[in-house]
A and B are shown apart, each in its own frame.
Chain A
Amino acid sequence: MEKAKISPGQLFILILLFDMGTAILRVMAMSAGKDAWLAILLGTAGGLAIFWIYVSLYRLYPELPLTGYIRAILGKGLGWPLGLLYILFFIHGGARDLREGGDLLISSVMEQTPIIVVNAVMVLSIVYVLNKGIEVVARTAQIFIMTIAILGFLSIFLLLFAGVIDISRLLPVMGNGLGPVIQTTLKQTIEFPHEEVICFAMLLPYLNNREKGIRAGFAAVLTSGLLLSFSTALNIAVLGIDIAGRSTFPLLSTIRLINIGEIIQRLDVFVVLTLIVGDFFKVAIFFYAAVLAAADLFRIKDYRQLVLPIGIIILFVSMMISSSFIEQIEEGDVLLVTVFLWFGVLIPIFLLAAAGVRKWFGSRP
């Protein structure tokens, strides 16, 4: 652990950027059809519940990160190997998002650039900022959230003025009944992106104000859910469910339709910036969680020694993880309800239960 403090506001921004990072770019919940936005909204309720698990664990062990209280709850024999698995989970998660960001960037704007170049540049800049510490990451996020907010507002404004939004494309609401919406919520939108917030279980001990920080965390999960739902609804209202569902990068397709008087057009850079900033923070948080977990388990005093090695591992894992973007997406859907579900939800629930049992027996004379 480094000696650093982050404020509740900074935590809010970090969770917000982390949640929206890659989710806002990709097609979400398309199995619910026109009601994708509704499924995301329902999923946010699940997201809040998942965050509640992390918060409860944090309240029990406010000084320890995830890998710390795993050992405190399960004992060293069981806790240490589980912590090791979490390092792998964080590295894998970071690598997946790195790959996804790189693939989107290449398929939309940098057609012929090799993916290793794009990913290496991204990893190097993250290595640099992580060397500076979590406080610098948080302050960088404070700067970039402004950029994203301005771009977001401007995009909505311009979409309105371009007259491409047609709300009737979202109708009828629940034309196929509630069934598909619930199914999508359970299979996809509760899990993604909310279960990845487990990374913040490593970061919560840095909070300088516990109660306010927890509230900020809940607010961030809720806000990101609302924004994701809104952007999905916007994509469908502009493109129609067919084009939005087929598109690899619907937000870009949406923004490309802006054409006001043949002058204000070609605003692709808005989305590309959002992609790069979002991906940066998503990978950085996974990366940092992995570094902290490794430093904690192997008792390394200065976590900085681990940043470059783990960065290189993430870079290479991102290259080897799948042979194509299609495979990456296919695997992602499976991993979401297996690996990510275990590490993000089931293990924390189990930990919470075990900690509860421990406390109950412990408090008895």
Chain B
Amino acid sequence: MTLKKGFLALMMVCLLPLTGCWNYREMNELAIAIAMGVDKVQGRDEYNISFQVVNARDIAGIKATGRIPVNVYSGKGKTLLEAVRKTSQKVPRRINTQHMRVFVIGEALARKGIEEVFELMERDPEPRLTTRVFIARNSDAATILKTVTAVEAIPANAILGKLKITGRVLAESYETEMDDVIRGLMIKGGGPVISGIKLVGKGEAGEKISNVEQTEPPTDLYTSGMALFKKGKLVGWVKGDKARGVSWINNKMKSTIVNLDCETKKDAISIDIIRSNSKIKSEVKGEQPLIRIHIKEIGILGEALCPVDVGKSAEIRKLEQQWNEETERNVMAAVQTAQKLKTDVLGFGAAVERANPKAWKKMEKEWDRIFATCRVEVKVESTIRRTGMVSKPYLYEEKK
């Protein structure tokens, strides 16, 4: 009985201190950092961290004040955590990175090496590994974060939206999450692939709200190509066909437009890819591995600017054949670029390891050298399924 009474008393006492969380942080005490940028401080071995902090009141529907939706705060430090804490001198609230969606790395830092940057992101429980990573092309990360954007009030959402849509319809860049980057950094003789974001126009003008008071903002942010890394260092950029090739090989191809020639005109027929799937296999014979890339893709005829009778399946066969060649050309362009840079960003090493773990053990150490000279075979199977709302283009009737 006494135990029961004692228990009851204990529970009552517990009610007093246990009414809330131990280290609770109310919403109105937080500064939500939606994006974060890292740069190298010039001439010193320090990091400069920038946070894009959302002004919740200024984006809140009807009550929106029309003032600037975000502010950017920076801090410097030898380690990232020190730099983060140094920003507290400037920010009136506690910075919270749980909702961070975008992580930008300045190109100067990327060329020096990004290995150190992700250690904090993996260790700290606040940031998430699903945060998308960008490289600020030709500029520093802070400038990117400071630019005000149109349509999406919060610049981080604007950048992310552009990347997502580009990845889905053009495939010249694709989303890379922090965990992808970390895995990329661990690749032997290779590195991660990270999409670029480019500042267009004059940097300083973009920091004011007046930037978006025009139909065409004088300063804007565009997605631009992809950065190829070797270990942690940026060694080169790819864009256009080569970037598409990288997407194809890494199985990130969702959709893009492939232009094919017709008899009378170059690049006159557009194929719209709907689905694509690629597999990388490897065979090891002696010292040299052979890499086989197998791509299966399905598409529709998107546009035909010359008199071609696509109502005939024989014509479609011809187009498919052309499309195979075009895909192969893109893929080989990407392979050659990576081989020239001697960095395995295409997952060939993993394919060799899967095929022959014993041979891989021997090659592992000098994989970047072997990778640069290994033979690659591409096999493409493409199918044009439909021709849209019409069969023959009206240009075909005109020409008759």
Contacts and interface: CB of A to CB of B under 8 A. Distances in A.
A308 B183 CA distance: 48
Contact of B23 (A111, A175, A246, A259): A111
B354 interface: yes
B354 A243 contact: no
B129 A112 contact: no
B229 to A, nearest CB: 16
A257 B179 contact: yes
B7 A128 contact: yes
A204 B106 CA distance: 63
Contacts of B30: none
Interface stretch (A102-110, A215-223, A346-354): A102-110
B136 interface: no
Given A256-B129, A265-B130, A113 B23 contact: yes
Nearest to A238: B179
A110 B22 contact: yes
A240 B21 CA distance: 34
Give the residue among A172, A246, A265 with the most B Cβ atoms within 10 A.
A172
Contacts of A331: none
B129 A253 contact: yes
B25 to A, nearest CB: 10
B23 A243 contact: no
B182 A242 contact: yes
Contacts of B357: 172, 174-176
B125 A111 contact: yes
B128 interface: yes
A128 B10 CA distance: 12
A107 B183 contact: no
B122 interface: yes
A246 B122 CA distance: 9
A171 B23 CA distance: 43
Contact of A168 (B7, B125, B130, B350): B350
Interface string A249-262: 00001001101000
A131 B354 CA distance: 55
A176 B361 CA distance: 9
A265 B360 CA distance: 37
Contacts of B186: 240, 242
Contacts of A171: 353-354
A112 B183 contact: no
Q: For chain A, which range describes its interface: under 10, 10 to 19, 20 to 34, or 35 or more residues?
A: 20 to 34
A257 B10 CA distance: 41
B12 interface: no
Nearest to B157: A262
Contacts of A168: 350, 354
A114 B182 CA distance: 32
B3 interface: yes
Given A242-B182, A242-B183, A108 B354 contact: no
Give the residue among B10, B125, B186, B355 with the most A Cβ atoms within 10 A.
B125
B22 A175 contact: no
A278 to B, nearest CB: 20
A243 B353 contact: no
A117 interface: yes
A108 B128 CA distance: 12
A304 interface: yes
B192 to A, nearest CB: 12
A204 B183 CA distance: 47
Contacts of A110: 21-23
A107 B126 CA distance: 11
Contact of A172 (B179, B182, B353): B353
Nearest to A239: B179
Interface string B177-194: 101001100100000000
Nearest to B126: A111
Nearest to B355: A172
Give the residue among B7, B21, B179 with the most A Cβ atoms within 10 A.
B179
A243 B179 contact: yes
Contacts of A242: 182-183, 186
A345 B132 CA distance: 49
Interface string B348-360: 0010011101001
Contacts of A256: 128-130
B156 to A, nearest CB: 12
Nearest to B6: A308
Nearest to A109: B125
B130 A107 contact: no
B122 A113 contact: no
B22 A117 contact: yes
A28 to B, nearest CB: 20
Nearest to B23: A112
A265 B186 CA distance: 26
Contacts of B23: 110-113
Contacts of B360: 175
B1 to A, nearest CB: 12
Nearest to B7: A128
A220 B129 CA distance: 35
A161 to B, nearest CB: 15
A175 B128 CA distance: 31
Interface string B9-24: 0100000000001110
B129 A257 contact: yes
A124 B350 CA distance: 50
B7 A243 contact: no
B22 A112 contact: yes
Interface in A87-121: 107-114, 117
Contacts of A172: 353-355, 357
A225 B182 CA distance: 30
A174 B361 CA distance: 13
Interface string A278-300: 00000000000000000000000
B182 A257 contact: no
Interface in A115-144: 117, 124, 128, 131
Contacts of B21: 110
A128 B4 CA distance: 10
Interface of A: 107-114, 117, 124, 128, 131, 168, 171-172, 174-176, 239-240, 242-243, 246, 253, 256-257, 259, 265-266, 304, 308
Closest 3 CB pairs of A and B: A175-B357, A112-B23, A113-B22
Interface of B: 3, 7, 10, 21-23, 122, 125, 128-130, 177, 179, 182-183, 186, 350, 353-355, 357, 360
25 contacts: A107-B125, A110-B21, A110-B22, A110-B23, A111-B23, A111-B125, A113-B22, A171-B353, A171-B354, A172-B354, A240-B183, A240-B186, A242-B182, A242-B183, A242-B186, A243-B129, A243-B179, A243-B182, A246-B122, A253-B129, A256-B128, A257-B129, A259-B130, A304-B3, A308-B3
Given A107-B125, A239-B179, 13 more contacts: A110-B23, A111-B23, A111-B125, A113-B22, A124-B10, A172-B355, A172-B357, A174-B357, A176-B357, A242-B182, A242-B183, A243-B179, A257-B177
